[in-house]
């Protein structure tokens, strides 16, 4: 498909649909696919992973028309993105708030850098699916019925695909990052676990510990290809 000239890539070419409201009332936005949705790509369910939003936005801005098959959510957690927090405005780690069989009420411990101890506590929510951002994303997926979802995160530097699917292998090959079956620690209530329980194919695309320049150079071309390649 045609890509926009570079001088036009400063702005998004078309307006998104609003699929819900965040806790603070911010729009939850989706850029729909041009045809039937086969793939949903979302960024920033963790609000402090803003590089995922920047990379996916820049990829989307390459397109002269909606992706034929791919819907895009630039920020699944806009309140966290605005405030620079991992969780949403209520301090909930949305990626532990999905209604899965293994959801737990225990605090979610995370680390602020890869070398730091895992000792910063967030909430998994009062109950599974308690957060408006979680419920809206589930309803969006029920509405769009994609075959697969790519969830962008940082900074583990891997493609996490328990199914080692063609899509996961393709992303690993194109990014040069390892394909792994899990991230190496339990993630109860995560989006990936919820997807697996729904029969939805979820690939977690973890950007690495790189500079913003590296993300643009190494990952935006892969994301452009993901949005434009035929499935
Ligand atoms: Zn993350």
pLDDT digits 0-9 by tens, 73-130: 999 999 999 999 999 999 999 999 999 999 999 999 998 888 898 999 999 999 999 9
C-beta separation of 3 from 63 below 8 A: yes
Judged against a pLDDT cut of 90, whether residue 194 lies above it is answered with yes
Q: How far is the CA of 106 from the centre of ligand 1 (A)?
A: 18
Q: Tell me: pLDDT of 231 over 80.
A: no
CB 57 within 8 A of CB 27: no
Cα 187 from Cα 65, distance rounded (Å): 36
**Which is higher by pLDDT, 208 or 1?**
208
Q: Ligand 1 centroid to 94 CA: how many Å?
A: 10
Task: Write the CB contacts of 73 (distance below 8 Å, at least 6 apart in sequence).
Answer: 19, 28, 29, 30, 31, 40, 41, 42, 43, 137, 140
Give me the residues near ligand 1 (ion), CB cutoff below 5 Å: 46, 153
Q: Does 146 have pLDDT greater than 80? A: yes
Q: What's the 2 CA to ligand 1 centre distance in angstroms? A: 32
- Token pair 């991992």 in the structure block, residue: 86
- pLDDT the model gives residue 186: 82
Catalytic residue among 29, 49, 51, 206: 206
For residue 38, report the distance from its CA to the centre of ligand 1, in Å: 23
Q: What is the DSSP-derived secondary structure letter of residue 181?
A: S
Assess whether the previous peptide bond of 155 is cis (omega < 30° from 0).
Answer: yes
At residue 204, what are phi and psi to the nearest 5 degrees?
A: -100, 120
Q: Clarify whether 206 is annotated catalytic.
A: yes
What single DSSP character describes residue 3?
B
pTM of the predicted structure, to 2 decimals: 0.96
């Amino acid at each position: 498909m045609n890509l926009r000239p570079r001088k036009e890539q400063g702005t998004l070419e078309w307006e998104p649909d609003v699929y819900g409201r965040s806790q603070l009332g911010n729009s939850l936005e989706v850029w729909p696919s041009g045809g039937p949705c086969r793939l949903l790509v979302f960024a920033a369910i963790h609000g402090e992973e803003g590089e995922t939003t920047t990379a996916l936005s820049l990829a989307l801005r390459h397109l002269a028309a909606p992706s034929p098959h791919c819907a895009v959510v630039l920020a699944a957690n806009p309140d966290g993105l605005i405030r620079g927090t991992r969780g949403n405005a209520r301090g909930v780690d949305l990626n532990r708030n999905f209604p899965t069989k293994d959801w737990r009420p225990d605090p979610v411990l995370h680390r602020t850098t890869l070398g730091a101890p895992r000792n910063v506590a967030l909430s998994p929510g009062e109950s599974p699916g308690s957060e408006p951002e979680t419920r809206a994303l589930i309803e969006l997926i029920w509405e769009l019925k994609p075959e697969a979802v790519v969830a962008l995160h940082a900074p583990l530097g891997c493609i996490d695909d328990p199914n080692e699917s063609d899509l996961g292998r393709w992303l690993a090959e194109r990014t040069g990052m390892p394909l792994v079956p899990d991230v190496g620690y339990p993630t109860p209530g995560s989006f990936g676990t919820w997807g697996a329980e729904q029969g939805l194919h979820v690939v977690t695309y973890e950007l690495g510990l790189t500079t913003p320049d590296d993300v643009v150079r190494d990952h935006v071309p892969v994301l452009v290809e993901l949005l434009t390649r035929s499935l």
